[in-house]
Amino acid sequence: MKTSRRAALASLALLSAAALTLSACTARNATPADGGESEDAAPIVIGASWPQSGPLGAVAPGLTGLETYIDMTNEAGGIDGHPIELVTADDAYDPARLVENERKFVEKDGAVLVVNFGGISIAGRDYLNQNGVAGISMAGNSPLSDIEGFPLQRAFWSDVSWEGHLQANWLKAEKPDAAVGYIGFNNDLSESQLAGLKAGGVEPVETALVAPGTADLSAQISQFQAAAVDTVIINIGAPTVGAVLAYIHQIGWEPTIILGSTTSDFTTAIHQAGGDAVEGAYAFKTFIDPADPRFAEDPDYLAYAAAVTEAGHEDVLGDAMTIQGYGLGAAIVAALEGADSYDSEGIIAAWDSFSELENPLLVPGIVYDSGPHGRIAFQFEFSRFDGTSWLPEGEIVDVRDEGIVE
């Protein structure tokens, strides 16, 4: 089943890329074979509030990837004949704008599902919950694991506290006397990861928590050095992670570096800092990086590249956020395909039924499983950057097998 679904996903991408070309010669609203559009084939409306500007505008390609997969699905016939109508809006990573966007999606557009990026999606949970509308966030913040309080809310990424616990386990085994410094956002994403580190027996001697978009952390690095930090864990997005890595390399400091699973990609970190500055760094990886030469011949990458190129988005083909959004689209489509009803309850019930689900975003050997706290991502590949590519250092690890989550 796993192999056949992966092959089907790749085939869908390639066939739909061809369909996009053919559609230029075919009326987009062509009459169905039965002579008219069925009233039962109503669109499935999904709203996407996403940062396309502001301090996290760098994640905008994630929306492009999501749109590409949804368009590809519609070109292939939609969901049992139902087209997916994706309505989008920029929230500039502002919680108030996010809630305003969600209100429009629900009350004007009739959305049965709303997707968001990052921890600000927490601000919209109350509104969606009160209106019985499903929400899926591309985020790792631990508060998004509260599905008892918010039964229709789910998160696409793994809970970052689990990743923190994995990092702690590795440090306890490989560097038990490590003096750890931590760099992250000044929000509950860092609180979540620090809680995971603590659960694994590691408490940083120094922390630097800064606002999204911060570039200069030279003063904080000096504090780390003064505190004899020899290991730095960094889980923060662009431009910060690249600037920090470049500065550490520039001053000749050589601590052990551990990067976050979602902030260690070429676009966010390596292209910004340079390969030499990242060489030797470690990360627990989950996702294919479209700019990593390791995946240049991977069938899922090739299908993704064909779809994104055919859609006219070559400029963001190598951006990790593009394939993240593409993978989110694939997961949403998988839930719709498995749903008994195309409403919020049906979508979440199907999301909670994933079992060994292949997804074009995932490193080979990793699958999605529905599990505790509404999460679907439990597996990681521990990797080291060799100056050119991220290479695995061992077998895939599952946080459920490690006793981190039950």
pLDDT over threshold 50, residue 139 = yes
What average pLDDT is seen over the chain?
Answer: 92
Between 75 and 238, name the one with better pLDDT: 75
Euclidean distance between CA atoms 277 and 303, whole angstroms: 31
pLDDT of residue 406: 80
Beta bridge partners of 116: 49, 137
Position 25 confidence tier, pLDDT thresholds 50, 70, 90: very low
pLDDT of residue 13: 56
pLDDT over threshold 80, residue 18 = no
Share of the chain above pLDDT 70, in %: 90
pLDDT of residue 162: 98
HSE-up of 133 (CA within 13 Å, CB side)? 25
Domain annotation for the chain: domains and CATH numbers? 2-158+292-375 (3.40.50.2300), 160-285+381-398 (3.40.50.2300)
pLDDT of residue 2: 39
- Distance of CA 248 to CAs 29, 255, 265, 358, Å? 56, 9, 18, 38
Task: Please give the single-letter amino acid code of residue 279.
Answer: E
Lowest average pLDDT, out of 20-29, 157-166, 258-267, goes to 20-29
Euclidean distance between CA atoms 225 and 255, whole angstroms: 9
Task: Please give the single-letter amino acid code of residue 365.
Answer: G
Q: What is the mean pLDDT of residues 305-321?
A: 98
Q: What is the mean pLDDT of residues 315-338?
A: 99
pLDDT over threshold 60, residue 15 = no
Residue entry with tokens 């989008």: 88
The alpha carbon of 370 is separated from its chain's Cα centroid by a whole number of angstroms, namely: 16
Q: What is the mean pLDDT of residues 7-36?
A: 41
Q: Residue 285: phi, psi to the nearest 5?
A: -100, 150
What pTM was estimated for this model as a whole?
0.90
Euclidean distance between CA atoms 399 and 375, whole angstroms: 12
| pLDDT tens-digit map of 369-390 | 999 999 999 999 999 999 999 9
HSE-up of 214 (CA within 13 Å, CB side)? 16
pLDDT of residue 213: 87
Q: Are 62 and 325 in contact (CB under 8 A)?
A: yes
Q: Are 201 and 322 in contact (CB under 8 A)?
A: no
Residue entry with tokens 């739909």: 16
Position 36 confidence tier, pLDDT thresholds 50, 70, 90: very low
Residue entry with tokens 């719709």: 336
Position 86 confidence tier, pLDDT thresholds 50, 70, 90: very high
pLDDT of residue 33: 31
Residue entry with tokens 């704008």: 97
The string of DSSP codes covering 226-284 is HTT--EEEEE--TTHHHHHHHHHHHTT---EEEE-TTS-SIIIIIHHH-HHHHTT-EEE
Q: For the chain, give me the number of helices (H) and strands (E)?
A: 13, 12
Q: Are 360 and 4 in contact (CB under 8 A)?
A: no
Rounded to the nearest 5 percent, the helix, strand and coil shares of the chain are: 45, 20, 40
Euclidean distance between CA atoms 252 and 403, whole angstroms: 38
| pLDDT tens-digit map of 197-249 | 999 999 999 999 999 889 899 999 999 999 999 999 999 999 999 999 999 99
